[in-house]
Structure 1
Amino acid sequence: MQKHITQITLIKPDDWHLHVRSGAALKSIVGMTAAQMGRAIIMPNLNPPVSNATQAHAYRQEILSALPKDSEFNPLMVLYLTDNTTPKDIQEALDNNVVAAKLYPAGATTNSDNGVTNITKLYPTLAYMQKLGMPLLLHGEVTRSDVDIFDREAVFIDEILSQVVHDFPELKIVFEHITTKEAVDFVLASHDKIAATITPHHLLANRNDMLVGGIKPHYFCLPILKRKNPHQSALLAAATSGNAKFFLGTDSAPHATTDKESACGCAGIFTAHCAIELYATVFERQNALHKLENFASKFGADFYNLPHNTQTITLHKQDWVIPANYPFANSTIVPFMATKTLSWKQLD
């Protein structure tokens, strides 16, 4: 058992999977991430998507202008892949400091209708990414109607990801927001160019939390929450294992309360309000607080060949209640674990 710990100081973490939206919504929430994270991989699924270097540059400037004064937060931009993305697009993106490219299967999640319909159409582009060393970020689900929503990730591994890894052995791949034991096992069995991010909500919740006692729309996300066993348990073991293949990626995905609490509620869970405190809760429960800094602050940077941050943050053992909601543009947003008590709090 770990000794009783009342304070933790960490190298400032990074979020390797983040949605911050745009406009007034962006201004409402980006400061929460900037207070905790040194950098973040910014998801490009806006409407329209960030599918070329010019759009990526403009989006980065919008984020920088929305940050609190004197913030040193560094948004890392990503190109949205479509069936028509070319090697030339990749080169232009790399020349403009875009750090990775994101593949959404068409229709897989929010604003993914312009995503990829067949990954083989992108093989020349993937070959060029492999040559340049640009990572491929994957939303790992198939979207065929004949596949059960709880099986989409496992089928994606069998039908698509295994073949891509075989065909592009030097391509860096981040299997994002993994949710299943099959995904954990695949990453563990793969070579060291294959890594994965794990969200706080998939570590702290399972499908019972979403469905038992009534449908909880603020627990609805894609990939959807899975069973406690074997899936959530496998994620917990992977995240706290100390294996450098697994690192922090919140997939914090804000939606207005009215868009979640509707007849067709949006997919996405908002965790940016206390992301590192949520992860600390997980690691403490697993008697692995001594492994949190590697997961949160080192492994992701190492995979992307970036230096570790030089700043630090400090978490204090302190009970506090997560607010029922936060302002969000001209509406509100309900955060993950709203009205519940956490026992870790970042010191200002």
Structure 2
Amino acid sequence: MTDRLTIPLPDDMHLHLRDGAMLKAVTPATAAHFGRAIIMPNLVPPVVTGAEAAEYRARILDALPDGNPFEPLMTLYLTETTDPDDVAAAAESGLIHALKLYPAGATTNSASGVRDFAKVQGVLERMAEIGLPLCVHGEVTDAEIDIFDREAVFIDRVLDPIRRRTPGLKVVMEHVTTSNGIDYIASVEQGLAGTITTHHLIINRNHILAGGIRPHYYCLPVAKREEHRKALLAAATSGDPRYFSGTDSAPHVDAAKESGCGCAGCFTAPNTLSCLAEVFEGAGALDKLEGFVSRFGADFYGLPVASETLTLEKGAPLEQPKSLETGDGPVTVFDPGFPLHWRVIRD
């Protein structure tokens, strides 16, 4: 039985670092285990121009431990007034690697998102021309649509029409949570991929609701039925390059999670690789972990696979961190609900 696995330094293809004191506290947790990450732009106010992305990138680099080579891969927040020329210039300079589409009101800090998709068609067409990917939060926000059905409806109403109207547009369907999403990605030969989070591979909706409300498992898109979790697991461990890791690690202080209207997000950065090693080992697919975390995302974004390596070593159960102290308050670390045996060693 394998008890040691060395892989290229992983990439996190969907990450929230926030800003200010939170940014300074959580950035080292990702930089300890990942070489690069696609950085989400949903700050308040959001990162919508190349100049704002450059300023945010500088703040991220300033939060890194001395000598750490972590590379933030910046994105812009797509709005109905986004300037296609600014997008193209930021992409050509190498500053940004994607635009992020949030349907207005879909998740944390998404109020500036898109309501009228016709107003962003020009930007999408320019992105298709220059090969810049579109990352989508795949949920509709209509009040009459059940929250557990919003991903499936998004595919039919929004995503498929966008792709048909914009040939050549590369799209990442982020944090896929349903078999519907997995099946849709599998039906497309090229130009469409999906990220799968660590927590959606582990929890289903019972973890949030059965026996009491557990706010630290509440996320958006919300975890679905067990049959959907199993579909995600099968896709992640399949070796299909259309599915790759994006943690969607999303820190909130405990006071914001444990409230009358708790924030959505799971903070998985400190233990995500140990969790994934357990999940892939349990599925008999430890040999597929390298592709999922180190190769497939880089390939889709046209990036070189990391030359630096990282080793996972199996041993006695780890002492799992309970929380991370920040200047804004404590942030609870995701609890997978089972012991973790895989220690991360930075080579």
Deviates more, 1:11-20 or 1:312-321: 312-321
Equivalenced residue count is 344
Cα deviation, residue 117, structure 1: 0.6
Alignment-mate amino acid for residue 195 of structure 1:
A
Given that residues 275 and 336 in structure 2 are in contact (C-alpha distance below 8 angstroms), is that contact kept between their aligned partners in structure 1? no
Q: Which residue of 2 aligns with 1:253?
A: 250
**Alpha-carbon distance, 1:320 to partner:** 1.1
Change (3 A) 1:276 1:338: closer
Q: Distance in 2 between matches of 1:234 and 1:160?
A: 22
Structure 2 distance, partners of 1:44, 1:273, is 21
Q: CA deviation at 1:324?
A: 2.1
Segments ≥4 residues shifted beyond 4 Å: none
Give the C-alpha shift of residue 338 in structure 1.
7.1
Query: 5+ unaligned residues in a row in structure 1: which ranges?
Result: none
- Could you say which residue in structure 2 is the equivalent of 1:108? 106
Deviation at 1:330, TM superposition (A): 3.4
Q: Does 1:282 align with 2:279?
A: yes
Provide the rounded CA distance (Å) in 2 between the counterparts of 1:124 and 1:323.
46
Is 1:213 the counterpart of 2:214 in the alignment? no
8 Å Cα contact 2:9-2:34 kept in structure 1: yes
Residue equivalent to 2:53: 56
Separation in structure 2 between the aligned mates of residue 50 and residue 93 of structure 1, nearest angstrom: 12
**Aligned sequence identity (%):** 50
Contact 1:325–1:338, Cα closer than 8 Å, also in 2: no
Q: TM-score, normalised to structure 2's length?
A: 0.97
Q: Distance in 2 between matches of 1:217 and 1:329?
A: 21
Which whole-Å CA distance do the structure 2 matches of 1:148 and 1:194 have between them?
A: 26
Answer yes or no: is 1:337 the counterpart of 2:335: yes
State yes or no: 1:184 paired with 2:182: yes
Provide Cα deviations, 1:100-145, integer angstroms capped at 9, x if missing partner: 1000000000100001112221111100100010000000000010
TM-score normalised to structure 1 length: 0.97
Q: Is the alpha carbon distance of 1:70 and 1:163 closer, same or farther for their aligned partners in structure 2, counting shifts above 3 Å?
A: same
Residues 40-63 of structure 1 deviation map (CA, whole Å, 9 limit, x = unaligned)? 000000000000001000000000
Partner amino acid for 1:204?
I
Mapped pair 1:32 → 2:29:
yes
SS in 2 for 1:10: strand
Whether the 8 Å CA contact 1:321–1:339 is kept in 2: the answer is: no
Secondary structure of the residue aligned to 2:342 is: strand
Contact preservation (8 Å) 1:141, 1:155: yes
Matched-pair contact (CA < 8 Å) for 1:15–1:39: yes
CA RMSD of aligned residues (A): 1.1
- TM-superposed deviation, 1:89: 2.5
Structure 2 counterparts to residues 1-348 of structure 1, below 5 A = 4-96=1-93, 97-229=95-227, 231-318=228-315, 319-337=317-335, 341-347=339-345
Output the CA distance in 1 between the equivalents of 2:279 and 2:197: 11
Cα distance in structure 2, aligned partners of 1:244 and 1:147: 31
Structure 2: gaps of 5 or more residues: none
**Structure 2 CA distance for aligned equivalents of residues 148 and 321 of structure 1:** 39
CA–CA separation in structure 1 for the residues paired with 2:155 and 2:214? 28
Q: Is the 8 A contact 1:20 1:29 kept in 2?
A: yes
Secondary structure, aligned partner of 1:320: coil
Whether contact under 8 Å (1:41, 1:77) holds in the other structure is yes
Contact 2:12 2:245 in 1 (8 A): yes
* Deviation string, structure 1 residues 148-186 (Cα, Å, up to 9, x no partner): 000000000011111111112211000000000000000
Contact 1:33 1:272 in 2 (8 A): yes
User: In 1, distance between residues paired with 2:124 and 2:336?
Assistant: 41
CA distance in structure 1 between the partners assigned to 2:243 and 2:17 by the alignment: 23
**Distance (Å, rounded) in 1 between the aligned partners of 2:63 and 2:151:** 35
